[in-house]
Amino acid sequence: MKFYSVLTLIFCSAVLNVGCSSNQAIKTTDGKTIVTDGKPEVDKETGLISYKDAQTGKTEQINRDQVSNMSELDN
């Protein structure tokens, strides 16, 4: 019986974690908009923002100075 309780807990945790990642829009200073898959990570030491591009699936980086705005998209 405990086995099924543990499985249920793992399943519920996985479902909740999937729902937490939201796409973001990064607007650049040159007018482009980049849609990310999940929340970008900001490295305060280097000034780089790492993100997974929603269109290509590749992990990319952009300099913080090239970003004018970041906002969460409604999924």
Asked whether residue 45 is assigned to any structural domain, the reply reads yes
**0.85 surpassed by pTM:** no
Q: Residue 74: phi, psi to the nearest 5?
A: -75, 125
Whichever domain contains 58, its CATH number is 2.30.30.100
Asked whether residue 8 is assigned to any structural domain, the reply reads no
Alpha-helical segments (H) within the chain:
2-20
Asked whether residue 35 is assigned to any structural domain, the reply reads yes
Give average pLDDT by consecutive 10-residue segment, the chain, 75 residues. Answer: 47 47 90 94 94 95 95 83
Asked whether residue 72 is assigned to any structural domain, the reply reads yes
Provide the domain limits for residue 35: 22-75
pLDDT by residue (tens digit) across 20-31?
A: 568 999 999 999
Asked whether residue 56 is assigned to any structural domain, the reply reads yes
Number of domains present in the structure of the chain: 1
Asked whether residue 50 is assigned to any structural domain, the reply reads yes
Asked whether residue 1 is assigned to any structural domain, the reply reads no
